[in-house]
Homo-oligomer: A and B are copies of this chain.
């Protein structure tokens, strides 16, 4: 398998199917907003969404009815408060019920690592004396064959497709990330297919032998998509728009204002460039 260069619309059409298990990763940094918007535009539904920190893009996807299940470990608007669409789905089943597969960060990280290593489960000293295992039957235990100690186990996460945003790709489709990487690499390696939007295409990646890199033969599709992480950020390219995160609280608090915003900015925009243009218009 070698990386193919596609438009975002083609990459989503080809790799994200209704009912699939889909992870958009990136921990605060490099969140694939553009890819998430295209999934909404293509009206995907019944998705099993996976992400440590759902963030605004999952709030949007859940609010637009894309999801039936959410695997996560922290679902808020970082530094601001609630994800209102996520809450509405959980508290009032709007626009649809949302099944929760809830973890801690440590548990979910172990589950991604197990997935990347194609082991069926991950092991950690976690979830001890908490109510989480009682509400999530996927959290089990395993006994150490040396000490007899009981440790927590989590089932491996192996998404049908992982979508990432990264700073750059070369002409072969090798992908380079830098800055905060979260569990992006593990989520990528754990997936059956991998779609990456990038800020820029370069002839040759900067030499950095121990850099975080995804070799082209692990990459299903590469999409050139500048600004693809906005309002999250891409270290070296643009900063996190903290003000947008704060504004989102008001937009998403109310079903109607949410739907109006999504209609104007996501559904009616033809692509991510158009989406960004509409935000620029708002700001003008």
Q: Residues on A close to B: CB < 8 A?
A: 118-121, 123-125, 140-147, 149, 151, 153, 155, 177-179, 181, 208-212
Contact = CB atoms under 8 A, between A and B. Distances in A.
Contact of A146 (B121, B123, B149, B181): B121
Contacts of A181: 210
B125 A209 contact: no
Nearest to A144: B120
B210 A179 contact: yes
A113 to B, nearest CB: 9
A142 B150 CA distance: 12
B141 A209 contact: no
B210 A119 contact: no
A276 to B, nearest CB: 27
B147 A120 contact: yes
Contacts of A211: 210
Contacts of A143: 142
A209 B146 contact: no
B209 A178 contact: yes
Contacts of A208: 208
Contacts of A153: 145-146
A208 B208 CA distance: 9
Contacts of A209: 178-179
Contact of A121 (B119, B144, B178): B144
A26 to B, nearest CB: 14
B146 A155 contact: yes
Given A178-B209, A210-B211, A145 B121 contact: yes
Given A145-B141, A211-B210, A212-B210, A119 B178 contact: no
